[in-house]
């Protein structure tokens, strides 16, 4: 999750006289992976880990623990703390957040407590009329968010750390402050009990099974090419799943630690999504960032090359990606789509593209990344922005709705969390979120890995399968042989 601002320093304003806003308590800096250990086995704990620096997007790691409210969506039902409520998932999340407000600038970091969770890809059906050919084969939620009154923030650059405690759901300022103190004390005590460092995670080997063979994958890419030639679409993002039985004797957190060591990323996340699901993500891609003052940024990724075995080969692969007509065209299509999406809720004239098709390098791949910015119209908030843009254009295609129809037709199963978004949404109206790629979804019985790529007119089915394998390989290695 981009979990930080790109500023060289982090500042916050003093509390307003006569009222309680937020308790901010500085604590000694330590390894956030070790600090999270006391909560790692809990079903609603979240670690948003800036595991790699990427242009200022790998600075602050957040631990969000012990939520006071749980919001879930499962198929057509939405629950709050286990009880059914009226409204679609976006409306319910917006309503629950609206009950708790903080002014901007009260924390030393962008996230000043709030909601943390995920939105599954299939939530797009609550926003548009879309087919639903696949059942929920894993029996997992479509959305899960906790409202967290306490967070721990680690500035990975300045090596400082804070406990942030808002005192919600109390309403009275004095009661809020008293709760904030109690909660900060309790969390600080648990952090103090955490080990200074963790041993290397144990290795476990999974028996991975692709749902589609190479030949089947290529045949479905060929079918997308037929749709493109017929004029139905310009691009569709096609993906495939690999599944394995959940290995015994290794925790989900151990799997995440091994994954993030193999493939560090600025939007890594370990997310407890209830009793049924845990996400271990090392996403490199920001979906939406919204500052409390309304500034928007989205950074779509389209175009991939593997890292080279030598510095010379690595540089050559990066140059080849930057010069690729096919990859640049793919990126440009999605940049245009996202300009249109955020333009639905932005002030007229505020949308711009300060970076187009720039190469960014990560642990196992080079990517082409563009940057689109805008300013949210007055009176709108983070959920309005999500409604206008979800799911992300980089993992759907163009035109978006027709591409999603073709995805439903040709992919073997529903996507679930994959290609959705992991997000934090602050009580002050700020937000940051990732596209859920490079992610393992873990249930009690199974582990799911998924990857794919954008198919355009000059795509080669065999090369598309090769690119999918480049992307999925670090996930397989996390539960496989080196």
Active site residue 302: yes
Asked whether the beta carbons of 353 and 383 are under 8 A apart, the reply is no
Q: Collapsing DSSP states into helix, strand and coil, what is residue 55?
A: coil
Catalytic residue among 289, 302, 400, 471: 302
Q: Measure the CA–CA gap between 4 and 383, rounded to whole angstroms.
A: 20
Active site residue 285: yes
For residue 439, which phi and psi values (nearest 5 degrees)? -135, 135
Q: Collapsing DSSP states into helix, strand and coil, what is residue 197?
A: coil
Concatenated DSSP letters of 140-168: --SEEEEEESEEEEEETTTTEEEEEE--T
Q: Measure the CA–CA gap between 232 and 401, rounded to whole angstroms.
A: 11
User: Which residue is it, tokens 């009154």?
Assistant: 149
**Measured on CA atoms in the order 412, 413, 418, 421, is the torsion positive or negative?**
positive
Q: Measure the CA–CA gap between 446 and 196, rounded to whole angstroms.
A: 31
Count the Cβ atoms, other than its own, within 10 Å of residue 270: 26
User: Which contacts (CB < 8 Å, 24+ apart) does range 177-183 have?
Assistant: 177/20, 177/23, 179/149, 180/20, 180/22, 180/23, 180/149, 181/23, 183/66, 183/149, 183/150
Q: Measure the CA–CA gap between 429 and 334, rounded to whole angstroms.
A: 26
Count the Cβ atoms, other than its own, within 10 Å of residue 462: 13
Catalytic residue among 122, 285, 297, 405: 285
Q: Which residues are catalytic?
A: 285, 302
């Amino acid at each position: 999750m981009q979990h930080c601002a790109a500023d060289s320093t982090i500042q916050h304003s003093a509390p307003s006289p006569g009222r309680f806003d937020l308790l901010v308590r500085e604590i000694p800096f330590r390894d956030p992976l070790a600090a999270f250990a006391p909560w790692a086995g809990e079903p609603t704990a979240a670690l948003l880990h800036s595991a790699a620096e990427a242009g200022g997007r790998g600075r602050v790691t957040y631990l969000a623990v012990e939520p006071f409210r749980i919001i879930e969506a499962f198929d057509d039902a939405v629950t709050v703390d286990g009880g059914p409520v009226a409204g679609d998932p976006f409306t319910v999340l917006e309503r629950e957040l609206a009950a708790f407000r903080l002014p901007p600038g009260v924390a030393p970091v962008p996230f000043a407590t709030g909601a943390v969770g995920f939105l599954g890809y299939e939530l797009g059906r609550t926003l548009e009329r879309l087919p639903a050919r696949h059942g929920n084969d894993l029996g997992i939620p479509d959305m899960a968010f906790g409202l967290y009154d306490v967070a721990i923030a680690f500035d990975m650059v300045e090596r400082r750390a804070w406990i942030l405690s808002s005192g919600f759901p109390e309403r009275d300022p004095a009661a809020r402050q008293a709760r904030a103190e109690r909660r900060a004390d309790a969390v600080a005590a648990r952090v103090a009990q955490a080990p200074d460092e963790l041993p290397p995670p144990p290795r476990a080997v999974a028996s991975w099974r692709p749902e589609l063979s190479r030949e089947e994958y290529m045949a479905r890419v060929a079918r997308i090419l037929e749709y493109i030639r017929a004029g139905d679409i310009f691009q569709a993002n096609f993906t495939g799943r690999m599944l394995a039985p959940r290995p015994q004797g290794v925790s989900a957190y151990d799997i995440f630690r091994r994954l993030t060591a193999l493939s560090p990323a600025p939007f890594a996340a370990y997310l407890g999504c209830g009793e049924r699901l845990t996400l271990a993500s090392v996403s490199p891609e920001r979906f939406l960032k919204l500052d409390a003052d309304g500034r928007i940024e989205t950074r779509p990724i389209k175009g991939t090359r593997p890292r080279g075995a030598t510095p010379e080969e690595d540089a050559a692969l990066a140059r080849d990606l930057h010069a690729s007509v096919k990859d640049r065209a793919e990126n440009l299509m999605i940049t245009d789509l996202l300009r249109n999406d955020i333009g639905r809720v932005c002030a007229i004239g505020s949308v711009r593209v300060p970076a187009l098709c720039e190469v960014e390098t990560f642990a196992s791949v080079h990517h082409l990344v563009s940057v689109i910015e805008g300013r949210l119209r007055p009176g709108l908030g983070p959920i309005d922005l999500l409604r206008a843009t979800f799911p992300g254009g980089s993992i759907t295609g163009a035109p978006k709705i027709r591409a999603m129809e073709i995805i439903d037709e040709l992919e073997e199963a529903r996507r679930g969390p994959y290609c959705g978004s992991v997000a934090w949404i602050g009580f002050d109206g700020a937000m940051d979120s990732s596209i859920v790629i490079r992610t393992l979804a873990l249930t009690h019985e199974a582990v799911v890995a998924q990857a794919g790529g954008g198919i355009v007119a000059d795509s080669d089915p065999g090369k598309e399968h090769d690119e999918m394998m480049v992307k999925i390989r670090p996930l397989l290695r996390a539960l496989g042989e080196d």
